[in-house]
Structure formats: structure tokens, C-alpha cells
Amino acid sequence: MDEYTVDIITLSQTEKPWKFQLTAMIDTGAKRSSIDEMLATLLQLEPVGEIKVSNAMGKQERPLVKIKIIHDDREYELEVSVTDRSQLSYPMIVGRDFLELWKSN
């Protein structure tokens, strides 16, 4: 972990949940956290709707999923957007939604 990343554990939403450890990039410019679509599928994350996102690629509609994140032995529940991050360095970014929860603990 460096100043631009955070090590987290996330839980699958399978009948018998299992843990998956990963390094996520911290993106203070992102209002909402985002996860790679393949990882979201693997973890069987529960869909909760869609959201419109504006970024460097323009405007997109993305699915939203619920996710549980464990960091520093604390559990956080978030709704994160799902997108193809396969060409990027990190399978997940944590945005201000996570950072605000983390800061308040």
C-alpha cells in the first residue's frame, strides 16, 4: 500500500461468503467507488439499480451493486458502480463515499 492505494477485504454474497483481499486505488475526484465487472460477477454482488456517471469517457449508465468492505478491522457497506476496469491497474477505486465513512470512524 502507498499513499494512493488502500488494502481492503471484500466479502462475496454467495450462500457461504468468502473473503477476497485486494488493493484499491484512492480517487478523491470520484464521488462514488467503482468495481470491475468481472470481480463484481465473481463475488456475486447484489444489483441495486443503475446510476448515470460523468467521467473522461463522457456520460455512461452503470449498474450499482452492494458491497461490504473491511479495512482496519472495520466493516463498511457501500453501493458502488460497476464498469470494465480490465485494462486498468486496479480492479477497484474507492471514492469519496468510502473516504467519508472511513474518516468518520
What's the pLDDT tens digit per position in 25-69? 999 999 999 999 999 999 999 999 999 988 777 898 999 999 999
Q: Does residue 6 have a pLDDT over 80?
A: yes
**Percent of all residues in the chain with a pLDDT value above 70, rounded to a whole number:** 98
Q: Which of 75, 4, 17 is nearest to 46 (CA)?
A: 17
According to the model, what pLDDT value does residue 80 have? 97
Please give the pLDDT value at position 1: 60
Residue labelled with grid coordinates 446510476: 51
Q: What is the pLDDT of residue 55?
A: 75
Confidence at residue 58, expressed as pLDDT on a 0 to 100 scale = 83
